[in-house]
Amino acid sequence: MTMKEKFIAPSILSADFASLGEEVDNVLASGADIVHFDVMDNHYVPNLTIGPLVCEALRKHGVTAPIDVHLMIKPVDRIVPDFASAGASYITFHPEASEHVDRTLQLIASEGCKAGLVFNPATPLDVLEHVIDKIDMVLLMSVNPGFGGQSFLPSALDKLRKARKLIDESGRDIRLEIDGGVKVDNIGEIHAAGADTFVAGSAIFGAARDQDPNRYDTVISAMRNALAESPS
């Protein structure tokens, strides 16, 4: 198993939006690597969240870390250029939400972003084998998307192992991201199954400590320690 540098990706939906710029500054200063955006349209999933304006606002605020945009919307193609111009680094989408997966991947790349596919718990990885040459990120959902605070589904571990095998066999530089129920207690096991990028929302933003220099130092450090102790 070929493992990349381990990235922690706080999901900003769990942050305090009244002071979002400061929240993102603090979580990055605490040692996080990527800012994760969950974009929901109240159509593809039963919730409504944030759009390109928030991404653009964070860039204007001074955030330079990669921004990882997970689109839970349908149709997909219309909104891709908006997020690209707003400063997205990665744009991932669900194959079920695209009329033409290959074309959407090409569109994301043509807009200057890294492209990825997202697989729900019940979605097989079959399509990945056919477009892996156009992929920069694979995101596996370890909960059913739409709402935060759900528990990690253990079935995601086997799926991670399968995805890791496909990625390693491809020889390509592809990140394997996991989203849903990730916390200090299970991040090591998730890493051992093959993930290298870890989305966490409430587990990070719900663990703020005023005693920490950057509010999230303790929880990010605990995640780093758990990852360091995990077999790779």
Look at residues 169, 207, 213, 154 and name the one whose alpha carbon lies nearest to residue 8.
Answer: 207
Q: Which residues contact 37 (CB under 8 A, 6 or more apart)?
A: 11, 12, 50, 54, 55, 67, 68, 69, 70, 88
> What mean pLDDT do residues 117-138 have?
96
Catalytic site residue from 38, 68, 136, 196: 38
pLDDT in tens, 20-42: 999 999 999 999 999 999 999 99
Look at residues 187, 148, 222 and name the one whose alpha carbon lies nearest to residue 177.
Answer: 187
**pLDDT band at residue 7, thresholds of 50, 70 and 90?**
very high
- Total number of domains constituting the chain: 1
pLDDT for residue 147:
62
Range of the domain at 128: 7-229
Respond yes or no: is residue 77 known to be catalytic: no
* Alpha-helix runs per DSSP H in 99-205: 101-110, 126-131, 156-170, 187-192, 202-205
> What mean pLDDT do residues 200-224 have?
97
Residue at 42 is within a domain = yes
Q: What is the pTM of this model?
A: 0.96
| Model confidence at 1: pLDDT above 50 | no
DSSP 8-state class, residue 150: P
pLDDT for residue 121:
94
pLDDT for residue 211:
98
Residue at 2 is within a domain = no
Residue at 208 is within a domain = yes
pLDDT for residue 144:
83
Residue at 193 is within a domain = yes
Catalytic site residue from 68, 179, 196, 217: 179
Residues in the chain: 232
Residue at 1 is within a domain = no
144 vs 87: CA distance, rounded Å: 27
Q: How far does Cα 188 stand from its chain's mean position?
A: 17
Residue at 152 is within a domain = yes
pLDDT in tens, 154-163: 999 999 999 9
Q: What percent of the chain has pLDDT over 90?
A: 91
pLDDT for residue 232:
67
pLDDT for residue 149:
65
38 vs 73: CA distance, rounded Å: 10
> What mean pLDDT do residues 77-103 have?
97
Task: Beginning with the edge strand found earlier in the chain, give each strand of the sheet holding 67-72 in spatial order.
Answer: 7-10, 197-200, 175-179, 137-141, 114-119, 90-93, 67-72, 35-40
Residue at 143 is within a domain = yes
pLDDT in tens, 44-63: 988 999 999 999 999 999 99
Residue at 116 is within a domain = yes
142 vs 160: CA distance, rounded Å: 10
Decide: 160 and 180 in contact? Cβ < 8 Å.
no
Respond yes or no: is residue 38 known to be catalytic: yes
**pLDDT band at residue 146, thresholds of 50, 70 and 90?**
low
pLDDT for residue 76:
97
94 vs 114: CA distance, rounded Å: 15
CATH number at residue 107: 3.20.20.70
